[in-house]
Amino acid sequence: MRSVVELRYFAAAADAAGTRSESLEASTVGELRALLLDRYGDAMARVLKTGSFLVDGVVSRDDAKALGTRVDVLPPFAGG
């Protein structure tokens, strides 16, 4: 079931989206990924290739994972 998800974008993800937050309808991480790639193209593809999603505060790279109410889109991190 699709639901409205609050998205928050950070660093390069915010640059790729041109915004720091928005709401979209999606049901899984995979569906969200496809929506973001369709909407923001190559810039977002570069971020998502090595970035990650935090689904209600828990990292998920599983496309079948159901979405919660908030997803943070994070670019890859450097350092340690």
Q: Return the SS3 of 15.
A: helix
d(CA 60, CA 41): 21
Per residue of the chain (80 residues), give pLDDT as tens: 788 999 999 999 999 999 999 999 999 999 999 999 999 999 999 999 999 999 999 999 899 999 999 999 999 875 54
Write down the pLDDT at residue 78: 56
Domains of the chain: residue spans and CATH: 3-74 (3.10.20.30)
Distances, alpha carbon 23 to alpha carbons 50, 70, 76, 77, in Å: 23, 9, 22, 24
Residue 5: in which H helix or E strand, if any?
Answer: strand 3-9
Q: Return the SS3 of 51.
A: coil
Write down the pLDDT at residue 76: 84
Write down the pLDDT at residue 77: 76
